[in-house]
Amino acid sequence: MRRYRNVKIVATLGPASTDYDTIRALHEAGADVFRLNMSHGTYDEIRERYHIIREIERDLDNPIGILADLQGPKLRVATFRREEEELEEGATFRLDLDETEGDATRVCLPHPEIFAALEPGSDLLINDGKIRLRVESCGPDFATCTVIAGGTISNRKGVNVPDVVLPLAALSDKDRADLEFVCDLGVDWLALSFVQRPEDVIEARKLVDGRAAVLSKIEKPSAVKCFDEILAVSDGIMVARGDLGVELPVQNVPPIQKRLVRRCRAVAKPVIVATQMLESMIESPMPTRAEVSDVATAIYEGADAIMLSAESAAGQFPIEAVTTMNNVAIEVEGDPTYQEVIEASRRAERHSIADGIVAAAREIAETTDIKVICCYTESGTTALLIARERPRVPIIAMTSLRGTARRLALTWGTNCIMTGELNRFKQAVVNAARAARVNGYAGTEDQIVVIAGVPFNVPGTTNILRVAPCDESLIFASDPE
């Protein structure tokens, strides 16, 4: 199924998108990757959605990526005697380990690890930042705070601690069980929540043990501070702007988003921009102009993928939301300014033969009448390197490994086509030419660029570039042996 855009779309599944017909319609409308949110749904529901996606993949003969998103540790206050209380600005409020129900002066915070990390002057955010408390004094089992921003506090509201690195693992017991479940199920990507340091990712990678690619969600200030180290041990990144916007001043988020997207692109790792992209479409069939501009900004920045959350999982108009995102992407990428911005932001880190070959492929494609760049890839690395170049022509990634094709569904501009294992370069060229013609990327009068590695079927051996005609008879005539 050919897409007429390069940025990919991730759609979250949920109560509004659980059956075969709806999920297939979402894919046909533009969803390239489906997100399974482990914060919601039973294992039986997650398993059923997984199998429906794979059934659609078989029916359409088109690789589809599946991303499982772990919940991460949830820090929450306990309960109140009257269920909710009003905190006034300037008032004193105490958090402690006393399990007695709370009132207007105190509440239990059943997380001793938070108290262990707090210092006077630290801020605590409650209910998505609507309430802000400043720690005046603290100990191993309490924190006495001043209410800086007041509001209604109620049972089990979430707590954010933006100023400190918490002595808390990124994987809770639930996350570890969920990780094993989805990896055994066969998901392609695993998203980690609550990443604070590279060690969090390294721990998860050991547990995953190669069964899925690992994507780190950047949603805490501590993760932004050591982003390069986290990126180095991750297969991909999600800029999770919701929590990031709670723990940081909101005006800080756009420049951070831009910076993280560029860093990911420079090292050829896919990056998703997520959270509240078309949120009004949860209840409306039309987005706001501001939301459309927000989606467009992520595309202009060169993000690999943009994501829908509640819009497709629980909204009233899931298919319309995907269609809107698809249409915005096509319009933006057709703007001449888009190509200017993308090319001006090209900052590749080139150190290998493969880096040089993909850069040469882009140069050849952009200075001659090349219709498509075809690459053979086992691990997916060659396709990632070509995508980093953001060429003006389409990319066909040909692989014999369905898992590789599914993971590349998240990568900018890649159109994955399954092929058998090869042992001769001429056959690779013939297969590439045939794929370009059959899928409408080129005609018999056109030329393509083919990239491969010899010996075949060995990751990391990209070493050949050839400009070839799409007419198979011309390929055999020019290479008769």
Annotated catalytic sites, by residue? 35, 76, 217, 275
Closest CA to 400 of 352, 457, 354: 457
Residue 32 backbone phi and psi in degrees, to 5:
-95, -30
Backbone angle region of 61, left / alpha / beta, with phi > 0 → left and psi within -120 to 50 → alpha: left
The helix or strand, by DSSP H or E, that contains position 296, with its residue range, turns out to be helix 289-300
Closest CA to 218 of 235, 203, 205, 230: 230
Joined together, the tokens standing for residue 478 give 């020019």
Backbone angle region of 151, left / alpha / beta, with phi > 0 → left and psi within -120 to 50 → alpha: left
Helix (H, G, I), strand (E, B) or coil at 31: coil
Angle at 451 between CA 449 and CA 452, to 5 degrees: 150
CA distances from 324 to 31, 37, 151, 224, 329 (A): 11, 22, 36, 30, 9
Determine the angle formed by the axes of helices 253-266 and 289-300, rounding to 10 degrees.
30
